[in-house]
Structures are given as structure tokens and as C-alpha cells.
Structure 1
């Protein structure tokens, strides 16, 4: 089948074979003209001069004496005019969004030749409607009257303010245009209106002979007026690209504009007597395929392309188009292309907001916002933007090992605030990690240049294009600020730059007439292919929901003939059906899942195709169906591999245990055997989280270290031995603040030469820690005199148990370890103290209860565990007294000692240790028992905050 451009080329050669050089062919866009030139070559056999081939936009620019100003300049000029007339103090960064809307409205007003004064006049009174708008049709007047119904009644403050804005908007429009004309500048709509209003007076440049308009569908009023003049006065011709399917049926919105033009005297003769029947008259293979997730569509298309090209190795890639309704799919598609695709041409503007360099710049701006100085003048960087920057895909690959070590060090040591001394000296790192201060644009320029040099070194051409485009935007903004003598602060620049980037598109460079064609929906106009793959055929993507914001309400847009929702949908309907007219093979993909906000709905155009056409359509939904059990049972049997991992806890003839069980590990086993397996056998440790503030989890760590520092630093200074008297407690109270600061410094890895900077929740956390410390010293003051034995004492034990292997009992030694928070001694009693910031209970019913998965007391279990380690290590003659300094003991006056339900206060742990040892041997024996798998807990409440709940699908 002949493509539309082939048909136009054949008609042109037939009608003007001997005078092609005098003909001007005008298309809706440049892309069609480029492909048309290739088709002309195929229609001629000898060298001749080519016809002049233009896009309508280029044709208008030729006939206008003004120059199109760039969008940033236009928006800023509009901002200057707007603020002067409205007398507002709004900044440019906040105006930018509204300025874009106003510019779009002005552009529409001019392209559709609307009288701006009438449009922006107060329409509240019927008299004004009758006198000022007598040119309107009755139905148009009715639409406007309905919109303004009730405005003759009492005016609300909102209505008056709305009328005020409309009155002033015409002044803004007029003064804005005047300021541009004074400098011989314009926006696109201004040029269109100028040519349309003066087409009969202009000395048309480069238009000497016949003119052919080809491939137009929805004309704005300026285009319609210009084309009509050429047809009437210059015998121009127009070639429509249409199909009988939507032309004959008045309900098909795809033919809305073409049917309207066919009814006009000017255009009627240009339509064929019989409409071509490409859509229904030619055999086609149409597949509608539902695929989960957006990226899934890219993967499936890549597979289909691979199959097609493997089956047809000589197939011309130029005859295949991949059309992306969602531009964000460009890179997923590029990464999914099979190796058989040797050349591609991207015919679409890629939103710069999706480029990796954009996210990097956002992280850099966040870094600058978070910069502060401590009281000593050191520059401090918050860890969040630091980690985001060094892990960014544009930074990390340049020094993966060094930057990975840096990231690990920040997380492991909880370095919330970092200085330049903490950061690696890579050139790009040096350019990023410094305060921008007043030179924000210069700073960002240096960063982009450093990134550009790195990308050049790596020969990453795509990255270079991103960076170059960003650099251009930055420079253009800098020039604009210099021209108007303005400065910008970090907050306003960040807001504005995000908006600038959101509206920018990156034009890809390449050879358009070679390779697989990847394009956006609008780029398909006038082009035909043999194979077409269309992705994201979902509502909100096809038809597109973009570009519908306007100051002019829908009713007025409709009354004045300005583009509105209905017209936008009609345009997309035409693009959709035109895309299907000539291809033999069509694959239409839609996302079946969407997201939390929806998005899985199939496009209305697919629904129309399915239910209204008589086409043979093959429908598929790709999915992995799986029956989901209500409860997923996971049990890890103790095979050779598992037992080999467990053997690291055992003593051997060659070496002591490589790993040792802590009381926390054993409590984990009692909570959930499977959690114990993940964490201590399979070594699936939870990822370290950074704590910007001390939370409940880390509060205990800070308290432990603060008390260790408090006593050990004091004792090392006084040098009078470990006996603590009342006077010592008095001195210790004076050192509480310093000890707390040291503990916070250690928690957040702040070096000794830097002063710790308290802020936010940490101010409160510091006071909480100090309250705990004061309460502990208050108890100590009541307990003096006592001998301070040590703090954070580490003990290890090779614990022997009987292990049953194949029915035979064999002794094995399992490594145990523990750290006792504090040890003190008085009157022949050694207290083994555990600091707790929670409400751990002192009361327990029995030793057996400590090993009960439902009733267990973690604090009692842990302190008896410490007593066992201490007894084996020290063989003490003194009594061992387990004690828990928890919130109840510190603030409510509860005794610190453990309390047995029937036997009372535990002032000698030794009497319980035999039973405790028996229970502990049974527990550890179960861990190494081959017949007991590592399975899930029955108490699913424990799964709520488990780090491994995603694996179990619980919680």
C-alpha cells in the first residue's frame, strides 16, 4: 500500500513535473517534510531542482519580520508587564507557572483570531453582551449568558475580584504585545495573527509558484484564513489524509474537523468524491495486549521486535514505528531493544525532568539548603543529600569502590553531619561539596562543567546531551537575571528551576531516515509504517491530559472557538485512527495495573475500536497467575548447608567459635525461629538506617555509653580507686552534661575537634538522657558506698551441651557472649546491672517462664544470662545480684532487683542458675537439633514490625 507521502509525491510530480522547483509544499510539521523529500527522490529519474518544502511554522516565520523570542524571555517579559499593571509583589519563581498559562492563552487567542478586548472584558451585564458581542451567533451568546448567570445580582467579593483580574488581563495582553513589537520580537501566535491579518498585503517571500498544503487536520483560525486565501487567490491546492471509516460516521470524533471543512465552500472541492477505505478495506493484524506495569510493555515490545527481526533478517527497520504515548517509557524501551536493532531514530522530545542529571541537581540544591555551620565555623552537610549524591548513577560509577566505602562509613557510624574532611577528594565531589552562598548560578555551572568532563572521559554521549541542555538553561537564566539586574536566592531559584526543567524537552540528534523509528504521538502525523507498536494506550495517556490549564473558562473557550477538551480529544482520535489506516500489523499495549491513583483503565479509543469497528481484533492479557495461600508456611530444614553455617557457633579442635550467641540472638529465636535463621544463620541483616535524631531504638545505646563515660572518665581522673562515696556522686552530677554530649558525639560520629550541634528532636533527647542519668545517680547516691567494678564488660563462654546425632549423644561446645552494662559490689554482693530505657518487668514467675515463647521476660532472661557468664568467668565467692535499671525503677521508685513471684527479691542468682542452665542447654540444643526446622512464629502480632515480614508476606 502506498503511504500518504508517496501519494502526495506522485501527485506533485504528475501535476508539476516540469516545474517542481517553483512549487512550495507545506506540511503541519518538519518531520513530514523530511520524509517527503525522500519520497520525491524516488519519483524522479533525472536531476531536477527540488520543490520548496516547509512546515507551516517555518512558512509563517518567513513571512513575518519579527523574531520568535525564547520561552524564558517571554515569560519574564510578561512577568514585568503583569507586576507593573497588577501592582503585585509576587516573585518570578511563583509567577512562572501562571505566566506559562497566560502565554498559552495569548498564543491561542492570536492563532484563533479572537478579539482579546472582548474576551477579557467584564461580561456581567446583559447590555454589554448585546452591544459588545453583536457579532456572536445566538447559541454563542447563550453559552456566555449561562456562564455569567446571576452576575447582575449582588456581587460577591470573589466575583468582583474575578472581574478585576479579567479587566486587567486585557491591559496585560496589550502592553505585553507592545513591549515585544518595540523590539521586533514575537511569540508564535503573534506571527500567525500578523500573517493572517495581512496576507493580502504581504510581499510573500519565497512563494512564487503553486502552493500545496498537505496532511492538515485541525486548523486554527489563522491557518484556515491563510490557506483559504491561498486557495482563492493563488490557486493553491490542499491534500487531506483521511479515511472513510470516520468520515462517513458523524459520531466518530476523529473526522470532526475534516467533515466541517468538507462543508465549507472553500475546501469542499479539495476533498475526494469517494473517501479511501484503508482502515476497513485492507487486511490487518491488530493485537490489543494488556501488560502489567508500564515497564512491562517495553519488555514485551523488545521481545516482539526480536522475534520479528529474527524471522525476517532483511526487514527494513524504517518500516517499524514504536509510538510512546507516555514519554517516560523512552529509556525502558531503549534498554529493552534486541540486538537485532542496529540503528534507531528517536523522533520525540524527551522531558528533561526525567533525565538523571535533573535528580542530581535536585539533590545538590537540597544539599545547599541543608548546609549549616557549627558554633566553631565548620561547614556541615546533612547525610541525606550527601548519600543521595554519592550514590547517584551519574556520580557513583566514577569511583565505585571509594564512594561505596564512604557511604558505608556514613551509615555504619551514623554520621548525620559531615564536613569536607569526611568526603573523598574527587574533582566532581570537590565542586559539589562547598557552600554556594551568593554565587548559586556560578556554583551550579562549575558542577555541570565537572560532570561534563567526566562524561566526556567516559564517552557517555547521552549524559553529555543532558548536561549540555541543563547548562544552556542555566546560562540563559543567568543572562536574563543580569539583563534585568536581579539576584535570586536559593529557595526561589530551586522553585523556578524545577518549573523550567519540567517544561523543557531534550531534542535527540540522529539520522531520521535510518533505523527503527521511536516517536511520540504527535510526531506520527503524515507518516505511515508497515509495523506499528503503540505503548501506554491507557486513559490519561491516550488521549493526553496535558496542556489543558487556562485562565479562560471552558464555556468561554467554546463560545469563542478557542481549543478546548472536545477539540483535543478529536485531534487525538484522528491521530489514533490515522495511525491505523495503512499498517499491516498493529500492536496496541496498555497497562493493566496502574498505580494507587488508578491508571489501569484502557483508553476509550481501544474501547471504540473493539465495540464499534468490524475489524478482526486479537485481544490478550499477559499476566502470571498464581494461587495465593491465605497463610504462607515457611520452614527451613537443617540440611548440610544450614548445619555448616550453624557450625560457626561451635568450638573445634582447630579454633574457637567463629561466632557467638548473644542474649539478643536467643531472645530472637524464642520470638521466631525463622527470624533467627535469617539474621544469624543466613546473615540477612537488616540494612543499617541513618538516625538523624535519637529515637527509641538508639536512646538505650546513648544512655549506656553516657553512663560508661561518666564513671570511667571520672575514676580515671580522681585515681583514688573504684570505691564510690557520696561526694563522688556529687561530682558526677556536675559531669552529666559533658558525658551526654560525648555519648551523642559517638552516636553521630562527630570528631573530637568539632563541637556537637544539638537541634530538633536531639535537644529533647539530650534532656531525656540527662534525666535518666540523674535518676541513676540518685539511686547510686542512696546505695553508696559501693565499689565500681566496671562498665560495658564483655564476657565469653564456651558452653557445653549434649548434641544428639543419629541417635547418639555427643558433647559440643557452643560460643556464648554478652556485655554487662555495669558491675558494682557492696557488702559481698556483686550487682550485674542492665540499663533499660523501656518498661521491662522485674517480676517473673519461674525460670521455665523465661524460656516460654508466650510469657518470657526478656530483662530477667538477659540478667540471668549475664550471671551465668560472670560465674563461669570469675568463679565469684560473692553473691551475684541481677538488677534492672528501667523506667519504673528510675522514675517510679520500684526496686531494681528481680523479683520471683513466690521467693521474693533475687539477692543471689546462683540458686537459680542450675535450672537456668538446664533450660538454656535445652534451648541451644533445639537450635542445633536436626529435626527442628527454622519455622515461623504462631504469634503473628510479632510480625508487624519484623524486618523480614516481606519474605514471609506477613505483617
Structure 2
């Protein structure tokens, strides 16, 4: 089937073949002109000059003395005018969004030739409507009147502010235009209005010969007036791109504008006598496919293109178009294309907001936003933006090994805040990690220059970086010195808005290869095979660009573009895609979010239920049948047993030793023990920026160690703690707590720890615990402090697998003190641990075990070989009940009472411990999962087990 562009080329050659250079062809956009030149080249058989082929926008620009200024410049000029007239001091960052809306409104009212003074007149009084708007139709007056009457019924502060602004917008518009004219600048609508209002006075450059307007659908009033002038005065031609399916059916919104023009005297003769019916009379294969997730659509289309190439290796890719209603799918699509597609033409701008450099700049601005200073003036960088920057794909390749090593060190040392000396010496790292203060533009520009020179950057990444650099330079050119000193949050807000409206234009050969385009770029172009992605509501038709200061009622009354018109435009584009194509595949996302989003486009619904076409509908999904939960059991084969041997003494030494927490883990879940202590699957610790319940105990242990250890060393008068020592000890609480926090967060001694957020509260909690411990100790004093956080080891002979063996045990006792012959083995606990237990045997029962009692008796076993014969081991637990509720600190047997001598229970405890170890090393007892699934909830390995 002939394409629309081919028909135009044949028509031009037939009518004007002898005078092609004199012909001017005007399209709605530039893309169609490229294809027309190609079609003419294929049809002519001898060298000739090409017609003047131009877009309507470029045609208008040729006739005016002004140039269109860039959007940032226009918005800044409007900002100056607005603040001057409104007498506000609003910052440019806050005005930018509203300025864009105002610019769009001004552009609309100019293109639609609206009398802006009348539009912005205060219409709150009926007589003004009657006196000022006699030219309006009665229904238009009614719409305007209804709006302002409803507006005045409830005058709120916001409405009064709106009315105040509204009354002055005409003055803003006038002053803004005057300012631009003095500089020979304009926005697009200004140029359109100038031409439309000066048709009789303009010479119309490069259009002295035949003029052809081709492929137009929805005309603004300025376009309509210009085209009407040429049709009436210049004997111009009009070629419509249409189909009888929607033109002749009043219920089809796609033909709304075309029917309107056909009923106007000036346009009626330009419509063909025999309206083509491509949609109904030409065979088509139409497929509607639902795909889970947006990226899934790109994957499926890539697969389909691969299938087409496999069927026909010489397939002409120029006849295939992939249309993206959602621009964000561009890169997923490019990464999904099969290898056979070498030539690609992307006819759309890619939003810079999706570019990798944008996320890096956001991290860098976040780095600046979270900078702190310690009392010495050192700059402190928060770990979150630091790690995000170091591992960013644009930064990491500069020195992957060293940068990743630095990131791992930050994580392993739990460095919440970093100083300059913590970082590596590298040009890019040094450029990024400094305080920008009020030189943000210069700071970011230098970073972009360093990135631009990076050897690892791809061509497209360099293009992103260059585009960002241009935006920053333009920003710096426009703003005054005072504006440039804007605060970080203001700059971030403005820069985010600037980037959100920018597109990166792709360069390529438009007439070669697979065509990838946005919806608006499809105008006047025809393809044999069309794929359309994101055929969901909110994407097709697009819901963007509808914000305006002009309310819907007034837009409708003045003929300005509104929701209805935009939907009609998208309906036309939708059916245009179908007109001449032989195969069309529509894809939509079947999975939305909490706000919906999975609904297919209304145009697809219309096609399915109204067209009568034979449509193949499919929904792609993968059905996962849930298997019965598989129990994980690790048998003790030779490899597992060999790994276990590291806990046995060999030639007088063991490679590793078992701790009480390891054996407690085994009692909780054998499989968890296997993962952690046999297979060495360590859970990777994240950085804790706050002391939480998990790390609170670690900080308390270290704080108490520091408190007593430093005190004894500095006092230098023995290890006896007396009652008169506690006054001095309490004065040291703050210092010990801070030192413990410093150790927890890897803050060097020469730096002051910076407390903020939850850590301020956590420090006070730690000090409360320490104060309560000192209170108990003061009541118990005098006593000798034997040691804090002391490590002990024990070689325990055990009968394993019909042979004698020695198992290596180890443990760290929180504190040991001695009074008389009593040696207390103290365990600090910040949780809900209870120190009462039923009997020794139950300490080894998986369901009834008492972890605290198990652990303190374990410590007694370790210390037993160290004690003198006269010493009595007394296990004690300093838990919350003992510290804050006055309970006794001693371990207590529920039947026998307080355990004043742990040695009385050690024989039974040791036998049960040996039985536990025998089971651990027994080849016939596998590592299996616990039956108590509530223990799986917070287990580090619950994803492996599919529990929790």
C-alpha cells in the first residue's frame, strides 16, 4: 500500500514536475519532510532541485524579525517582570514551575489569537460581561459568567490571591512581550500571532510559487488563519491525511477537527471527493497483548523482532516502527533488541531526568545537604550519599578496585560519618568530596568536566554529561551574582525542575533502520509493521501538559486547547497508525500499583468493541505452581565432617573454637548453625547510623569496660573498688559512653563524636544502664575487679563417634569481680532475658532452654580451670529487672533457689554439654530446620529456607 508521503510525492511531480524548485511544501513537523525528500529522490529520473520542504514552525520563523529564545531565558525574563509587577520577592526556584505554566498559557492565547486583555479582565460583575464581551456567543458568555459567579460565592484568602494575580496578568503579559521585542526575541506563540495579524503586510519569503500544506489535523487559530489566507489569496493546496472510518462517523473523536474543517467554506473544497477507507478495506492483523510490568513489554517486543528477523533475514527494518507512549521504556527497549538489528533511528528526545548523570548529581547534592561539622571545624560526610556516589556506575569505573575497597571499609568499620582523611586520593573523589557552599554551579561544572574526560564513559554518557554542562552554563549566564548564591535546597529544587523538562535529542540516519519514536513523531508517517507500547490509560492518551492558570471553563469559552481537544488529537494519532499498516501489535501493562494503572487505553477498548475488526487478544503470564514446602536437610558427608574438624584439637591446637552463642544457635536451629559456622555464610552487616536494640548491648559492654579499665589504670592503686570510688566513676560516665559510641562507629580518637538523632537518646539510655550498674556495684563494694571482657579457652575431652577427641571452646566474660572467696561471673543484658531456670537438663532443651543461664554456666566451665581451690564461682546477670526493678542479680534455680556456687551444677552441665557436642559431630544427625517457625522471622537465612 502506498504511504501518505509517497502519494504527496507523486502528486507534486504530476502537478509541478517541471517547476519543483518553486514549490513549497509545509508539514506539521520536520520529520515528514525528510521522508518526502526520500520519496521524491526515488521517483525522479534526472537531477533536479528539491522543493522547499519545511515545517510550519520554521515557515513562521522565516517571516518574523525575532528569534525564539530558549525556555530558561524566557522563564527568567518572565520572573523579573512578574516580581516587578506583583511586588513579590519569590525566588526563581519557586517561580520556575509557575513560570512554565504561565509561559504555556501565553503561548496558547497567542496561537489561538485570544484577546488577552478581555481574558484577564475581572469578570466578577455581570455588567462587565455585558459591556465588554458583546463579540462572544451567548453560550460562551454563559460559561464565563457561570465560572465567575461560582468563584465569588465563597471568597477565601486563596481565591482573593488568585483574583489579585489574575487582574495583573495582562500587565505581566504586555510588559513581558515588550521586554522580548526590545531584544528581538520571542516565544513561539508571539511569532504565530505576529504573522496571523500581519498577513497583508508580509512578503512571505521563499513562498512565491505553489504552496502545499500537507498532513495537518488539529489547527490552532493562528495556523488556521495563515492557511486560510494562502488558500484564498495564494491559490495554495491542502492535502489531508485522513480515513473515512473516523471522518464520516460523528461518534469518532479522531475525526472531530477534520469534520469541523470540512464544514468551513474555505477548507471544504480541499477535502477529497472520494474519501479513502484504508482502515476497513485493507486487510490487517491486529493483536492486543497484555504484559506484566512495563519493562516486560520491551522484552516481548525485542523477542518478536527477533522472530521476524529469523523468518526473513532480509527484512526491511525501515518499514517497522516501535512507538513508545512511555518515554522511560526507551533504554529497556534498546537493551532488548536482537543482535540482528544493527541500524536504529530514535526519533524522540530522551528525558534527562532518566539519565545516570542525573542520579549522580542528586547523590552529590544530597552529600552537600548532609554535610556536618564537628566542633573542631572538620567536614563530616554522611555514609549514605558517600556509598551511593562511590558505587555509582559513572564513578566506580574510574578506579573500581580502590573505590570498592574504600566502600567495603566504610561498611565493615561502620563509619557513619567520614572525614577527608578517610577517603582515597583520586582526582574525581577529591573533586566531589569538598564543601561547595555558595559555589554550587562552579562545583558541579568541574565535576562534570572530570567525568567528561573519564576513559570509561561511553559515547551516550558523554552526551548526557555534555548536555548537563550546557544547562549549568546557561543557568550561570542568566542569573545575577546574588541569584547564584542561592541556598542548596533552592538550587536543588530549581535544578530538578530544569532537568525534568529537558530532552536529549538523538542523532542518527532517519531514513535507515528500525524506527523508534514517540506518539507525536508518528504524524504523516506510515509503516507496514507497527508495535505500540504502553497502551495504558494515562500514557495513551497522554495526561501531561494540562496544568494552566486559565480555568477549564474559560479555556473552553475562548477556544483554547483543553482536555477534550487533546483526547481528540491522540484519537486521531491512534487511528492514523492503523490506517495503512498491515500488522499492528499493541502492548499494555497488566500490573499496576496501589493507585491503579493496569487499565488498557480507552482507544483499545473502542477498537475491540466498536470497530468490528478481527483482533487477537492475549495476556502473557507465567503461572507458578506452588510446591509443597521443601524441608532443607544437610547430611554430614565427608566435606561437612571435614569442615567440622576445625573445632577439634589437632596436634595440640584447634583452628577454631566454639562459643556459647554458636552452641545456642545450634540449639535454636541446626541448619542455621550449619550456614553460619560450617558453610561460613556470613550475613553482611550494613552500616548502623543509630544504636538500635541489636547494637545497644555492644555499646554497653564496651562502655563498662572503658569505665572500669581506664579508671583502674589512671588511679594506679590496685584493683580494689571501694565505695568512695563511685563519685569519681560517675563523673566518668559521659566520657566512657562517648568512647563506646566512638568505637561502635569507628570515629578516631582525634575527632569529636557528633551526636544527632536517635543517638542522642541512645547515649542517655546507655548512661542510665551504666548508672544503675554503678548503683548495684556501690552497694556491693568493696570488691576486687579481676577483669572486664576477658577471653578464656577450654580444651574439653569428648567421646565422639566411638573415639576420644578434644573440642575447642572459647568465651568472653563481661566482668569478673571478687569479694572474699566469691568470684562473680557477670553477664550484662539489655534485653528481656530472665535469670531463672528450671533445671540444668532443660538448658539444653530446644524449646525450654534459658539462653542466659546456659551462657553463664558455660562461663563458669571456662573459668573453672583458672580459679584457686578456695574460690567460689557465683554466676550473675545484670539485666533490666535487676538494674531497674530491684531483682537479685544472681542466677536462680526455680527449685533450689539462688546459685551461690556454680561448681555444684557444673558436673551435670558438662555431661549435657558433652552430649550436645557428640550430637553436633555425629555423622548420622543431619543439620535440619527448627520446628519453631517463629524463630525464623528474624533469621538472616530465612530467604534460603523460604520461611519467616
Same fold (TM over 0.5): yes
Which one of the candidate residues 698, 702, 721 is aligned to 1:701? 698
Moved more, 338-347 or 633-642: 633-642
Q: Which residue does 1:412 correspond to in 2? A: 412
The 1:284/1:939 distance shift into structure 2, 3 A limit, reads: same
**How far did 1:59 drift?**
0.6
Matching residue of 1:838: 831
**Structure 1 CA distance for aligned equivalents of residues 191 and 890 of structure 2:** 89
For the 8 Å contact 2:438–2:484, the answer to whether it is kept is no
DSSP 3-state at the match of 1:602: coil
Structure 1 equivalent of residue 528 of structure 2:
530
Deviations along 1:921-945, one digit per CA (max 9) or x if unpaired, are 4444444555655454444444443
Cα pair distance change 1:647/1:68, threshold 3 Å = same
Deviation larger for 412-421 or 681-690: 681-690
Mean Cα deviation higher: 117-126 or 13-22: 117-126
CA distance in 2, matches of 1:937, 1:260: 76
Residue of structure 2 in register with 1:205 after alignment: 205
The answer to whether the 8 A contact 2:69-2:187 is kept is yes
SS of 1:471's equivalent?
Answer: helix
Q: Which residue pairs with 1:919 in the alignment?
A: 912
Aligned to 1:666: 663
Structure 1 contact 633–936 (Cα < 8 Å) conserved = no
Partner of 1:571: 569
Deviates further, 591-600 or 541-550: 591-600
Q: Greater shift after overlay, 352-361 or 884-893? A: 884-893
Quote the residue 2:610 is aligned against.
Answer: 612
The reply on whether 1:749 has 2:746 as its aligned counterpart is: yes
Whole-Å Cα distance in 2 between the matches of residues 602 and 639 of structure 1? 55
Matched, 1:219 2:219: yes
SS of 2:789's equivalent in the other structure is strand
Q: How far, CA to CA, are the matches of 1:235 and 1:641 in structure 2?
A: 96
TM-score (normalizing by structure 2): 0.96
Aligned twin of 2:774: 777
Kindly tell me: are residues 825 and 478 of structure 1, through their superposed partners in 2, closer, same or farther at Cα, counting changes over 3 Å? same
Shift of 1:560: 1.2
Counterparts of 1:297 and 1:706, CA distance in 2: 57
Return closer, same or farther for 1:727/1:127 CA change in 2, 3 Å cut-off: same
- 2:864 aligned counterpart, secondary structure: helix
Matched, 1:792 2:789: yes
What pairs up with 1:718-737 in 2 under 5 angstroms? 718-737=715-734
Please name the residue that 1:767 is paired with.
764
Distance 2:173 2:917 in 1: 83
Q: Which residue matches 1:509?
A: 507
- Distance in 1, Cα, partners of 2:925 & 2:610: 64
Distance 1:543 1:812, change over 3 A: farther
- Measured after TM superposition, the shift of residue 448 of structure 1 is 0.6
Q: Which moved more, 1:49-58 or 1:740-749?
A: 740-749
> In the alignment, which of 547, 555, 565 is matched to residue 549 of structure 1?
547
Deviation, 1:484, is 7.9
Q: Indicate if the aligned counterparts of 1:125 and 1:151 stay in contact, CA closer than 8 A.
A: no
Q: Secondary structure at the match of 2:792?
A: strand
Provide closer, same or farther for how the CA distance between residues 228 and 900 of structure 1 changes in structure 2, counting only shifts above 3 A. Answer: same
> Could you tell me which residue of structure 1 aligns to residue 371 of structure 2?
371
Query: Deviation at 1:227?
Result: 0.8
Determine helix, strand or coil for the equivalent of 1:752: coil
Q: 1:935 to 1:227 in 2, by over 3 A?
A: farther
- Contact 2:33 / 2:55 at 8 angstroms: preserved in 1? yes
Name stretches of at least 5 consecutive residues in structure 1 with no aligned partner.
Answer: none
2:478 alignment counterpart = 480
Determine which of 466, 469, 474 is the counterpart of 2:467.
469
| Structure 2 residue aligned with 1:192 | 192
User: Tell me, what secondary structure is at the counterpart of 2:361?
Assistant: helix
1:652-691 counterparts in 2 under 5 A? 653=650, 656-691=653-688
Q: Report the equivalent of 1:441.
A: 441
Q: Measure, in 2, the Cα distance between the counterparts of 1:768 and 1:156.
A: 50
Q: Is the 8 A contact 2:824 2:874 kept in 1?
A: yes
TM-score (norm 1): 0.95
Does 2:712 correspond to 1:715? yes
Instruction: For residue 246 of structure 1, report the CA deviation from its aligned partner.
Output: 1.4
Q: Which shifted more, 780-789 or 33-42?
A: 780-789
Name the counterpart of 2:858.
865
CA distance in 2, matches of 1:889, 1:118: 82
1:848 equivalent in alignment to 2:845 = no
Aligned residue for 2:812, secondary structure, equals strand
Write the distance in 1 (CA, Å) between the matches of 2:587 and 2:747: 54
Mark the CA change 1:876 to 1:306 in structure 2 (over 3 Å): closer, same or farther.
farther
Q: How does 1:326-405 map onto structure 2 within 5 Å?
A: 326-405=326-405
Match runs of 1:621-632 below 5 Å = 621-628=619-626, 632=629
- Classify 1:352/1:740 alpha carbon distance in 2 versus 1 (closer, same or farther; 3 Å): same
Q: Give secondary structure in 2 for the equivalent of 1:387.
A: helix
Give the Cα separation in 2 of the matches to 1:606 and 1:661.
66
Query: RMSD between aligned alpha carbons?
Result: 2.2
| Structure 1 residue aligned with 2:428 | 428
Q: Give secondary structure in 2 for the equivalent of 1:880.
A: strand
Structure 2 counterpart SS, 1:458: coil
Q: Is the 8 A contact 2:641 2:921 kept in 1?
A: no
Partner secondary structure for residue 149 of structure 1: helix
Aligned to 1:558: 556
Cα deviation digits, residues 888-915 of structure 1 (max 9, x gap): 2122222111111111111112222233
Instruction: Compute the displacement of 1:160 (Å).
Output: 3.4
Q: Check conservation: 1:650, 1:812, Cα contact below 8 A.
A: no
Describe the SS at the equivalent of 1:265.
coil
* Cα distance in structure 1, aligned partners of 2:603 and 2:673: 54
Verify the 8 A CA contact 2:109 2:116 in the aligned structure 1.
yes
For the structure 1 residues 777 and 151, does the alpha-carbon distance in structure 2 shift closer, same or farther, using more than 3 Å as the test? closer
Matching residue within 788, 812, 819 for 1:819: 812
1:603-657 C-alpha deviation (Å, 9 max, x unpaired)? 111111211122222122211102336x734323326387257525542647955
Tell me what 2:317 maps to. Answer: 317
Find the counterpart in structure 2 of residue 42 from structure 1.
42
Aligned-partner Cα distance in 2 for 1:648–1:24: 90
Report SS of the residue matched to 2:479.
helix
Do the aligned partners of residues 462 and 748 (structure 1) sit closer, same or farther apart at CA in structure 2, a change above 3 Å counting? same
User: Partners in 2 of 1:275 and 1:827 — Cα distance?
Assistant: 113
Pair 1:15–1:503, CA change in 2 (3 A): same
**Partners of 2:564 and 2:678 in 1: CA distance:** 63
Q: How far, CA to CA, are the matches of 1:678 and 1:135 in structure 2? A: 84
Is residue 644–residue 678 contact of structure 2 (8 Å, CA) maintained in 1? no
